[in-house]
Amino acid sequence: MEEKKLITGGEFLIKDTDIADVFIPEELDEEQRMIGETCTDFLETEVFPVADRIDAQEEGLMRSLLEKSGELGLLGIAIPEEYEGFGQSFITTMYASEIMGSGYSFAVAYSCHTGIGTLPILYYGNEEQRAKYIPKLTTGEMVGAYCLTEPGAGSDANSGKTKAVLSEDGKHYIINGAKMWITNGGFADVMTVFAKIDNDRVLSAFILDRDMPGITFNPEEKKMGIKGSSTRQIFFNDVKVPVENQLGKRGEGFRIALNILHMGRIKLGANVIGSAKTAITQSVVYANERKQFNCHISEFGAIKHKLAEQVIRTFATECSVYRASQALDDAIAYYVAKGDDKGRNTMEAFNHFAIEAAVMKVYGSEALDYVVDEGVQIHGGMGFSAEMMIDRGYRDSRINRIFEGTNEINRLLLVDAVLKKGTKGVLPVMEEAEKAFEEVKSLNGSPAVAEGFIEEKMQYVANMKKVVLMLLKAVSEKFTRKLVQEQEILSNISDCIIQVYVAESVVLRLKKMETMKGEEETKLYRDMADVFVYDAASNVHKFALDATYSFAYGEVRELLEKGIAAYTTVAGVNVKEARRKIADRLIEENKYCY
């Protein structure tokens, strides 16, 4: 059998992607759908009926829900069978995360437990550590938490002051310090705690049990949203941690923390899809019920615009998350086959996809914020009432732009990761940029447009990539080592990259759908691709010019202006009609249906 070609993280900027390398939700098989149904049933029977009690933080409720989900196997979807799990693919895990994502505060507890609460031990633990903790975390007998952030160390996580000192007999580390904003902190039994050994400059990681003497907890934080999710400050006062509880090697903590976060960011992208679909259903149900001026508000063009745009951004997030998940499943299989440390090799795969992970995190969280914000607007005054679930969705959404690395940090690291791959020779970014500059010099107007709907959209996306490459080269040459200080420009470029990846993911899904179902059945998806690519081109145009005018002069500026004008020109689209058609189907179905 021919070996599957491995996609490299960030490669999308310089290469086309084959639809064979892209997973789309239409390909979910029966087993995956059954897992999804079990998640839906769990939310409908166990979580939604007690949503208010969860938000009131009723004693013991969240923990008992996690235990119940464990009994159903829902905590073990990603866990290998030898640790009582189901050993499912990353795609399946993301599908479950998508559905569980609509579970408001429960989703946060669940996601924290199954992700950052469990995976550091699964992937970096030794045999004894895995055997001791993972089966119990899988069944829900134990709950996990991840303690990185400190009062003085948030985005700058490596600056934490929590300290570990080896005891005189060499049997324990004595840990002192404080951690802040710890999800599941109120009831977690096991915590991955990051601390510096002696005067190390980098973090190490340790597994701490809740009942170790010297650990104390502040009361629950009072929060704007996800009120039912437990969030605590935790103090470590001369906590004696057996040396066997060190996780990974000395000084490996920051790497562990970051790799787990890369995974968490893609997972966050999946979570927001579930929340967004729920908010869209709430929006359309309300719009179909509410009458003003003698008609349902869903008949108004302004409301249709909002509904359609909610759908398009959610759909676009979905296309991107499952595309990245396939690339990750392939990379995991490749790296795991390469060596004997399955856990570390799995994480190695995530490390390669830091760029895509940041794209999911930023685009997904901002798409959800848009969806819930317009959801509130569609509900009018009722949207402002705490009686409606959309109010909860709105408040709960906001955290997604803050945790798992703020969106500002993710935007910055995204460009940094691309440039590092260029410098290391993993991605020939500068070589491709040079070609783009040469092409622009001889360009007369915009490049000719390819024939065929998909081909045309693909070309538009390929054109936008050239804008990104030109900018990367121009800013690197202008600022060299001082580029890190140009955050506004880096954020502009980052926004261009995000638009490119997401737009391409939308077109790739459409292309694959058409091969599976034919053009007739996928007409409305053409409308989505039409609107999305048209908007993406306009967004890239604006971001790229903002960047250009912030640093470029003379010939470079002229070439950039010429390139941006040429490569972001797309054919006009009747966006009003396209959005109306998308909204009309939603209105007819009275629920999210794409």
Ligand X SMILES: Cc1cc2nc3c(=O)[nH]c(=O)nc-3n(C[C@H](O)[C@H](O)[C@H](O)COP(=O)(O)OP(=O)(O)OC[C@H]3O[C@@H](n4cnc5c(N)ncnc54)[C@H](O)[C@@H]3O)c2cc1C
Stretch that binds ligand X, among 42-50, 145-153, 521-529, 585-593 (CB under 6 A): 145-153
Minimum gap (Å) between residue 146 Cβ and ligand X: 5
* CB-nearer residue toward ligand X: 148 or 470: 148
* CB-nearer residue toward ligand X: 260 or 528: 260
* Catalytic residue status for 404: yes
Say if CB 98 and CB 39 are below 8 A apart.
no
Stretch that binds ligand X, among 56-64, 148-156, 302-310, 360-368 (CB under 6 A): 148-156
Give the C-alpha distances (Å, rounded to integers) separating 268 from 235, 357, 408: 27, 9, 16
Measure CA 436 to chain center: 30
In whole angstroms, give the CA distance from residue 64 to residue 108: 15
Say if CB 232 and CB 145 are below 8 A apart.
no
Say if CB 145 and CB 188 are below 8 A apart.
yes
Nearest to 411 by CA among 352, 363, 444, 466: 363
Nearest to 245 by CA among 126, 140, 423, 336: 126
* CB-nearer residue toward ligand X: 294 or 485: 485
Residue whose token pair is 């909002």 = 306
Q: Does 270 bind ligand X (CB under 6 A)?
A: no
* CB-nearer residue toward ligand X: 159 or 423: 159
Minimum gap (Å) between residue 421 Cβ and ligand X: 21
In whole angstroms, give the CA distance from residue 233 to residue 218: 5
Alpha-helical segments (H) within 233-353: 253-289, 301-338, 342-352
Stretch that binds ligand X, among 141-149, 163-171, 241-249, 561-569 (CB under 6 A): 141-149
Stretch that binds ligand X, among 144-152, 377-385, 466-474, 501-509 (CB under 6 A): 144-152
* CB-nearer residue toward ligand X: 218 or 487: 487
CA torsion 260-505-33-63 (nearest 10°) is 30
Q: Choose the catalytic residue: 252, 404, 486, 514.
A: 404
Minimum gap (Å) between residue 407 Cβ and ligand X: 7
Phi and psi of 72, rounded to 5°?
A: -85, 0
Instruction: Work out which of 33, 44, 155, 549 binds ligand X, going by CB under 6 A.
Output: 155
* CB-nearer residue toward ligand X: 334 or 479: 479
Minimum gap (Å) between residue 147 Cβ and ligand X: 6
* CB-nearer residue toward ligand X: 227 or 313: 227
Minimum gap (Å) between residue 491 Cβ and ligand X: 9
Nearest to 49 by CA among 61, 59, 60: 61
From residue 170 to residue 189, the character string flagging contacts with ligand X as x (rule: CB under 6 A) and all else as - is -----------xxx------
Beta strand 144-147 with 190-197: parallel, antiparallel or unpaired? parallel
Say if CB 463 and CB 450 are below 8 A apart.
no
Minimum gap (Å) between residue 402 Cβ and ligand X: 5
Phi and psi of 335, rounded to 5°?
A: -70, -35
Residue whose token pair is 């009723």 = 58
Stretch that binds ligand X, among 76-84, 147-155, 248-256, 318-326 (CB under 6 A): 147-155
DSSP reduced 3-state for 292: strand
Facing residues of 195 across strands? 204
* CB-nearer residue toward ligand X: 182 or 433: 182
Site residues for ligand X, window 220-249 (CB under 6 A)? 223, 231
Q: Does 149 bind ligand X (CB under 6 A)?
A: yes
Say if CB 135 and CB 169 are below 8 A apart.
no
Minimum gap (Å) between residue 337 Cβ and ligand X: 32
Minimum gap (Å) between residue 361 Cβ and ligand X: 12
From residue 15 to residue 54, the character string flagging contacts with ligand X as x (rule: CB under 6 A) and all else as - is ----------------------------------------
DSSP reduced 3-state for 142: coil
Report which residue's Cβ sits closest to ligand X: 154
The residues near 229 (Cβ < 8 Å, ≥ 6 apart) are 62, 105, 108, 109, 112, 183, 184, 223
Minimum gap (Å) between residue 163 Cβ and ligand X: 17
Minimum gap (Å) between residue 295 Cβ and ligand X: 41
Site residues for ligand X, window 430-489 (CB under 6 A)? 487
Which helix or strand (DSSP H or E) is residue 192 part of? strand 190-197
From residue 394 to residue 433, the character string flagging contacts with ligand X as x (rule: CB under 6 A) and all else as - is -----x--xx-xx-xx------------------------
Neighbour count for residue 581 (Cβ, 10 Å): 17
Minimum gap (Å) between residue 160 Cβ and ligand X: 9
* CB-nearer residue toward ligand X: 111 or 548: 111
Neighbour count for residue 192 (Cβ, 10 Å): 28
Instruction: Work out which of 94, 147, 440, 510 binds ligand X, going by CB under 6 A.
Output: 147
Stretch that binds ligand X, among 6-14, 142-150, 450-458, 566-574 (CB under 6 A): 142-150
Site residues for ligand X, window 89-118 (CB under 6 A)? 112
* CB-nearer residue toward ligand X: 231 or 283: 231
Structure tokens at 124: 């970096």
Alpha-helical segments (H) within 379-452: 389-397, 407-423, 429-441
Burial state string for 73-102 with b = 16 or more CB within 10 A and e = fewer than 16? bbbbbbbbeebbbbebbbbbbbbbbbbbbb
Stretch that binds ligand X, among 143-151, 161-169, 288-296, 378-386 (CB under 6 A): 143-151
Which helix or strand (DSSP H or E) is residue 384 part of? none
In whole angstroms, give the CA distance from residue 440 to residue 455: 21
* CB-nearer residue toward ligand X: 207 or 308: 207
In whole angstroms, give the CA distance from residue 376 to residue 154: 31
Q: Does 254 bind ligand X (CB under 6 A)?
A: no
- DSSP symbol at 153: B
Residues lying near ligand X in the complex (CB under 6 A) are found at 112, 146-149, 154-155, 181-183, 223, 231, 399, 402-403, 405-406, 408-409, 487
Q: Which residues are catalytic?
A: 404
